[in-house]
Structure 1
Amino acid sequence: MTDTAVIEIALRTMMVALKLSAPILVTSLVLGFAISLFQSMTQIQEFTLAFVPKVIGVGVALLVSGNWMLHTLVEFTIDLFDMLPGLLA
């Protein structure tokens, strides 16, 4: 196993982690910004007003992109297992 192979695996792992977390993080970021903007305009400082829509939005994002996320993770794992004999030799 060379240094190049380790760096390649680490880079692919970070890219997959970024791809998998992006739908959830972007949804939470957009909803959080919109709710904060609404709260600052109306001066309503209620914690549940910020929390509940984000939880619902993240749940919807998981339902919408969950199949793609699972497929991406399984594909990455299969690729790692396919590369294993070449890395050990």
Structure 2
Amino acid sequence: MSPETFVDVFREALWIVTLMVCAVIIPSLLVGLVVAVFQAATSINEQTLSFLPRLIVTLLALGVGAHWGLQTLMDFFVMLVNQIPEVVG
């Protein structure tokens, strides 16, 4: 396996991981920001008020993005399998 091929595969894998993590984390961060602003404006210091909406949004993001994430992983795996003859030969 040439170093260029390894670097390309590693770069693609890191990009896929970054996209999948961002698809789940960014909605949770945005909801957390909105809840924090709401808590600061109303002086409510309840911990469950910030935790529960973020949990629900994270689960919804996982549910909505599961098909896309699985398809992305399958495409990456097919690409890896198709590169086997190129790497070996």
- Shorter-chain TM-score: which interval? over 0.9
Deviation at 1:8, TM superposition (A): 0.5
Q: Secondary structure at the match of 1:44?
A: coil
TM-score, normalisation: structure 2: 0.93
Q: Secondary structure at the match of 1:85?
A: helix
Which 5+ residue runs of structure 2 have no aligned equivalent? Answer: none
TM-score, normalisation: structure 1: 0.93
Report the equivalent of 2:29: 29
Deviation at 1:88, TM superposition (A): 2.2
Q: Distance in 2 between matches of 1:81 and 1:46?
A: 50
Does 2:64 match 1:64?
Answer: yes
Q: Secondary structure at the match of 2:15?
A: helix
Q: How many residues align?
A: 89
Q: Secondary structure at the match of 1:6?
A: helix
Superposed CA RMSD: 1.0
Report the equivalent of 2:79: 79
Amino acid at match of 1:26: I
Amino acid at match of 1:14: L
Segment of structure 1 superposing worse, 52-61 or 17-26: 17-26
Report the equivalent of 2:19: 19
Deviation at 1:17, TM superposition (A): 0.6
Report the equivalent of 2:43: 43
Which 5+ residue runs of structure 1 have no aligned equivalent? Answer: none
Q: Deviations over 1:55-76 (max 9, x none)?
A: 1001111111111111111111
Deviation at 1:87, TM superposition (A): 1.2
Report the equivalent of 1:52: 52
Q: Distance in 1 between matches of 2:44 and 2:29?
A: 19
Q: Secondary structure at the match of 1:23?
A: helix
